[in-house]
A and B are shown apart, each in its own frame.
Chain A
Amino acid sequence: MLIDPKTDLTKPLVEIRNLKTEFFTEDGVVTAVDGVDLDVMANRTMVVLGQSGSGKSIMARSILRIVDKPGKITQGSITYNHADGRSIDLAAMRAGAPEVREIRGKDISMIFQEPMSSLGPITKIGQQIVETILLHRKVTKVEAKEEAINLLDRVGIPRPAERFEAYPFELSGGMRQRAMIAMALSCEPRLLIADEPSTALDVTTQAQILDLIAELKEERQMGVMLITHDMGVAAEVAEDIVVMYHGKIVEKNDVFSIFDAPKHPYTRALLASVPKLGGQRVHRLPDISQLLKNPDNPPAPIPAKPRPPAGEPIIKVRNVNVEFPVGGGVFSKPTGTIQAVKDVSFDVYRGETFGIVGESGSGKSTLSRAIMGIRPPTSGQIEFLRKDKPVSEISSAGKAEMRDVWRDMRMVFQDPQSSLNPKLRVIDLVGQCIEKAEALGRKDLSERVSKLLTQVGLSPEFLLRHPNAFSGGQRQRLGVARALATRPELVIADEAVSALDVPIQAQVLNLLQDLQEEFALTYIFISHDLAVVDHICDRVAVMYKGEMVELLTRDELAAGPKHPYTKSLLSAVPIPDPHQRDRKRVS
């Protein structure tokens, strides 16, 4: 059903005036949204851009009155203009009032970031869609089911009648997000709010989901409010952009004006700190704190120093296979195997940054675990060639040898939240691995850890704090400090910056580069983000379904990859430049 042509598309769907949403916590009042004015139009795609904690998500949730406790709207109005001309101030209503619930899911619907946890875990997806239809429309159950299957078909889920009966855990991430979109569209909303709808997905899936949303918006002439921290996504889909910073809107304009002539220093800084795919390689990414201090003349980018020619290998991987058994129980044999890594061979040279890219499930993490000796390969050899020490064969090394290997080969993990023991103080967190091995006293240890903290850009005063007193970026710095504590030769960074906001990501990437120069480190850098890999890596291995389909130098990647998978991966990456949005995607 298309919207009635008589409907006035120039009248805003939602008018937000002077909105303030605050959280009343034990530590005091936190103002998440601070005096926001915004008009949301029908048939426009508005992107709300900002870092985590900028209040963009809370602002959107305030519209639907679904802000979790202890959050509260303390000031301002949110006027929703019904299609029939009635207006209602949502901010003045009780959160669960029938007038508000009537709008939720029917006139304004919402999709969320994590499609796994945002769908009811033990309810069939078809049921969850039917439920929404029955809530707002006067149809029979049979008609609702028919409609739900049509919707599943419309959002591109193959065999929709069969998938109607599926549980969320039986679908892939992309399919789940499609089901979520089907649910949101089920009552033909006039406004779709999408809160980071593609952040948890692989780049190729992300591209498909964003295309789908754009297509549906055209088809139904609905307004779309898309919340993201990803400049590339914003440039690809936005018509209008709203930039939020510390709960305030600092800039709003059409997409071309924002990207071509950003006015607010924060917008400028944000755009400058994004690693860009291709183009001249810069030595360091601009640091947002310096950009904000000196917004008018940003430092000119320094081109990257040419890398010294490749040294001797530090890691030799030969014909490595890793298999996982699947099926079977306590008493029964496994029914088959999954080949997570298939016949992979490569060398990593001393002093380089070796990138491994691929989508989730491509085997890149399994490969890194095989190199670490955590998950030994089913077959093949992995050699670790250290300075002044005999060659270690990882897959056949004994416990004592591995303990020694792990001092020279360290890991930085993805999630700085869960990879640091919350019970330990920084001094033990970082120093635990050296305290015993080097028989350090408490005083020597605190000296060593203080030095490490300084090296990763943290103050030595933090020595006795617990990790939860740190921000995400600082925690990742702690992770880096822990990896460096034993003075390793090789550091494996598994999605080490993926969970961080763009400006923080830039800072951590710069830190990694500085440390590499200072300590002559070799990195194996695993990521799904091609722009990041392109920025930091000298050579890139592309993994696809367990195989290494291509191994490229950075220049070769810039010149254009040969393998069709790498091409499609490259073309699916959202480019933070709205002028390039019409380029063709390779699939």
Chain B
Amino acid sequence: MLSFIYRRLLYMVPTVFLVSIVTFAIIQLPPGDYLDTLAAELNDSGGLDAGTMQSLRDQYGLGQPMYVQYFKWMKGILLHGNFGISFEKNLPVNDLIWDRLGWTFGISLMTLAFIWMTALPIGIYSAVRKYSVGDYIATFFGFIGLAIPNFLLALVMMYVAFKYFGQSVGGLVSPEYLDQPWDLEKIGNLMSRIWMPIVVVGTSGAAALIRIMRANLLDELYRPYVVTARAKGMSEFKLLMKYPVRVALNPFISTIGWILPTLVSGEIIVAVVMNLPTTGPLLLRALLVQDMYLAGSLIFIVSILTVLGTLLSDVLLAWIDPRIRYQ
């Protein structure tokens, strides 16, 4: 098992290296750079002369060849943990992202917990009571959950919360708590609001997972080893949990790998709509104005977290399913 983890960690090194190159290449792809965007914005109010442009370009190092820029950026990250500066905000990237990454990570974990806690019991129920009324209801809501775009769900929920419960919407805490220090009251306020983005972001994932769990478990339920367990005299619930559910659990573990990128990239619109302090809106803005170090750093860090998440899910998979460990 240890050698398995060790081997997987080793594989991560080239993966992360490739990811960093691809990331850098992608943020360079759009024509022009931040200065062009800046110039275009300033043109309306007078514009920049060529000399200023050139000196700014030298200052930011934008005139250098791409690989030089890449090496400088990587060197800063590897040696000093310095991700460069944000052109637009004129602040080190480090000051801007960690708070938001923390929120992103936190919401991801809670969404993951939400997805598991809803999908597991409902999926098992749907499989065991196939074609029962409960199964049809679960299936119905499952398809609705899959079909509704989550930003729409966000809008509907915010409307309902505002109209019928009088809750102010947007942000993770009510406006009056925004600048206060963290105390129990503020945490309570956070808890009363944070479920909304979690449900919005988690619904489609949970719906998908219910379907997957149902299909997987249906494959396992009629296997001979289930009959064996039954012939031993085990109770139905115990044998269900101990044998077929354990075997059908693999897709759940795999969710760890994809929940983070989903949240960061797929839910940008939700984060904008709900005014969440996550990386989504920041990344969107950075890409729009070609704030390349900020955008690159976000993409890079999220990629690393994804690679780590995948590693974690693989290790867990190997742990619960010995057949994977020995392949």
Contacts and interface: CB of A to CB of B under 8 A. Distances in A.
A66 B227 contact: yes
B221 to A, nearest CB: 9
Contacts of B247: 120-122
Contact of A103 (B227, B233, B246): B233
Contacts of A61: 227
Interface residues of A, number: 32
A110 B229 CA distance: 10
B323 to A, nearest CB: 6
Contacts, number: 76
B1 interface: no
B3 to A, nearest CB: 12
Interface in A90-149: 96, 101-106, 109-110, 112-114, 117-123, 131-132, 135-136
B323 A101 contact: no
Contact of B235 (A101, A118, A167): A101
A64 interface: yes
B232 interface: yes
A68 B320 CA distance: 28
Given A101-B234, A105-B232, A120 B243 contact: yes
B243 A109 contact: no
Contacts of B225: 117-121
A109 B232 contact: yes
A183 interface: yes
Given A121-B323, A122-B321, A104 B230 contact: yes
A135 B232 contact: yes
Interface in B286-327: 320-323, 326
A180 B232 CA distance: 11
A226 to B, nearest CB: 16
A122 B232 contact: no
Q: Is the interface of B mostly helix, strand, loop or mixed?
A: helix
Nearest to A108: B231
A132 B232 contact: yes
A110 B231 contact: yes
Contacts of A105: 231-234
A167 B231 contact: no
A131 B227 contact: no
B167 interface: no
Given A114-B224, A167-B323, A120 B232 contact: no
B233 A136 contact: yes
Contacts of B242: 120, 123, 131
Interface string B186-206: 000000000000000000000
B28 interface: no
Contact of A118 (B222, B224, B321): B224
B231 A135 contact: no
B243 A96 contact: no
A170 B326 CA distance: 10
B232 A96 contact: no
Contacts of B233: 101-106, 132, 135-136
A66 B246 contact: no
Contacts of B224: 112-114, 117-118
A462 interface: no
Contacts of A110: 228, 231
B236 interface: yes
A169 interface: yes
Interface string B219-261: 0001111011111111110000011001100000000000000
A117 B223 contact: yes
Contact of A131 (B230, B232, B236): B232
B230 A66 contact: yes
Given A112-B224, A122-B321, A96 B236 contact: yes
A120 B223 CA distance: 9
Interface of B: 222-225, 227-236, 242-243, 246-247, 320-323, 326
| Nearest 3 pairs of A and B residues by beta carbon | A104-B233, A105-B232, A105-B233
11 contacts: A68-B227, A101-B234, A109-B231, A112-B227, A118-B227, A120-B228, A122-B322, A135-B232, A167-B322, A169-B322, A169-B326
Interface of A: 61, 64, 66, 68, 96, 101-106, 109-110, 112-114, 117-123, 131-132, 135-136, 167, 169-170, 180, 183
Given A104-B233, A112-B228, A135-B233, 6 more contacts: A105-B231, A118-B228, A119-B225, A120-B225, A122-B321, A131-B242
